[in-house]
Amino acid sequence: MEYLLGVDGGGTKMLGALTRLDGKVVKTAKTGPASYHAVGIETVEKNLRELLDILVGKDFSRLKACCLGFSGCGRPSDYDVLNPMLQRVGIFEKTHLIGDMAIALMGGALEPRGIIVIAGTGSIVYGIGDDGVPRRAGGYGQWFADEGSGCRIGHKGLYAIMKASDGRIKPVTFDQPVLTMLGLKAPNELILWATRKNKEGTIKTDMAAVAPFIISAAEKRDRAAMQILDEEVSELVLAVKTVLKGLKFKKMPKVILVGGVVENNPFYFKVLKNAIRKAISGIQVTAPKAAPAVGAVIGAAQKAGLPITSAFIRNVTASWEALKNK
């Protein structure tokens, strides 16, 4: 029997789903990280070999096609590193290697087309057209992008606290809750806090932890918080419109909203969803319908040239949920 293999390769783990050609998941496995930027290509190769050994053993002939959605993959230089690794492992010819945002889109939309907005600690907007050609906007890190992300919202919130402490803007309602969460007593302590966190390399995630306070304050009509959200949502809307303009679609695609800051803060999800729908007439905006690993299976079916039917989608989603909940 031949199988499909979909792999969700993130910064902390590889999660693989082995399915029959009809989409039914028969086995799953989890090993170590897939980002060679973080752990090195030797470790990624070791983790992939371990995953394959658990799922199919040494007989790769049973794999009709694979789709690997790896964190940190997408630039030509990444393929220069990862493709030789796939050749060493022995699955290069039957593998579709893409970035993790692509499988998140395919799992979220349950089809190999559409647009995904990832707004977590960082952010990116990524889309795939009807012709399979991708396009992205943002995703260049905290210094050059990350619009609408937890880091960007949190940073602007801290900036507003400092401005309010000077009297340059009206007092904000979120200053004391934020300072308490950070273990600080006064706004001027943020200077040394930021210096220390930057040296420790945690400044991005620590600023992102501030975002829920800003979002909550915006929901309660704090003027500064509302302005921050309005600015960041506008940037994400612009990115979605830019990606949409650069893709080929016969009908309006779905826009999937994922990532910690948008999924864990319902008010932010609502505001962003409504802003996109207002800016682009007729577009659907939803939460993800399935996990990235399911999207990787869809990518493997594409690689194999199999039709992605409604029956295939039902098989993969139902069997994935059944195995996940065991």
Interval 181-203 mean pLDDT: 96
Question: Both 172 and 263 in a single domain?
Answer: yes
Whether the predicted pLDDT of 325 surpasses 80: no
Whether the predicted pLDDT of 172 surpasses 90: yes
Q: Is residue 74 one of the residues assigned to a domain?
A: yes
Question: Both 127 and 192 in a single domain?
Answer: yes
Residue 241 has a pLDDT of 98
Q: Is residue 84 one of the residues assigned to a domain?
A: yes
Whether the predicted pLDDT of 38 surpasses 90: no
316-326 residues labelled b (16+ CB within 10 A) or e (exposed): bbebbeeeeee
Q: Is residue 97 one of the residues assigned to a domain?
A: yes
Interval 193-210 mean pLDDT: 95
Question: Both 147 and 90 in a single domain?
Answer: no
Whether the predicted pLDDT of 23 surpasses 80: yes
Interval 102-121 mean pLDDT: 95
Question: Both 139 and 73 in a single domain?
Answer: no
Above pLDDT 70, what percent of the chain? 99
Residue 74 has a pLDDT of 84
Interval 200-204 mean pLDDT: 93
Structure tokens at 25: 């998941």
Structure confidence by residue, pLDDT tens digits, 151-170: 999 999 999 999 999 999 99
Question: Both 309 and 260 in a single domain?
Answer: no
Mean pLDDT is lowest, of 24-28, 48-52, 55-59, 103-107, for 55-59
Whether the predicted pLDDT of 200 surpasses 80: yes
Residue 323 has a pLDDT of 83
Whether the predicted pLDDT of 231 surpasses 90: yes
Question: Both 204 and 306 in a single domain?
Answer: no
Question: Both 294 and 283 in a single domain?
Answer: no
Question: Both 89 and 212 in a single domain?
Answer: no
Residue 141 has a pLDDT of 85
Whether the predicted pLDDT of 174 surpasses 80: yes
Q: Is residue 35 one of the residues assigned to a domain?
A: yes
Q: Which domain holds residue 260?
A: 111-288
Structure confidence by residue, pLDDT tens digits, 275-310: 999 999 999 999 999 999 999 999 999 999 999 999
Residue 134 has a pLDDT of 94
Domain containing residue 166: CATH number: 3.30.420.40
Q: Is residue 238 one of the residues assigned to a domain?
A: yes
Question: Both 118 and 231 in a single domain?
Answer: yes
Question: Both 150 and 233 in a single domain?
Answer: yes
Residue 142 has a pLDDT of 86
Residue 281 has a pLDDT of 94
Q: Is residue 284 one of the residues assigned to a domain?
A: yes
Residue 302 has a pLDDT of 95
Sorting pLDDT into bands at 50, 70 and 90, what band is 232? very high
Q: Is residue 168 one of the residues assigned to a domain?
A: yes
Question: Both 77 and 191 in a single domain?
Answer: no
Q: What is the count of structural domains for the chain?
A: 2
Residue 11 has a pLDDT of 85
Question: Both 234 and 144 in a single domain?
Answer: yes
The answer to whether 16 and 299 are in contact (CB under 8 A) is no
Residue 58 has a pLDDT of 84
Residue 61 has a pLDDT of 92
Q: Is residue 106 one of the residues assigned to a domain?
A: no
pTM of the model: 0.90
Sorting pLDDT into bands at 50, 70 and 90, what band is 35? very high
Residue 149 has a pLDDT of 96
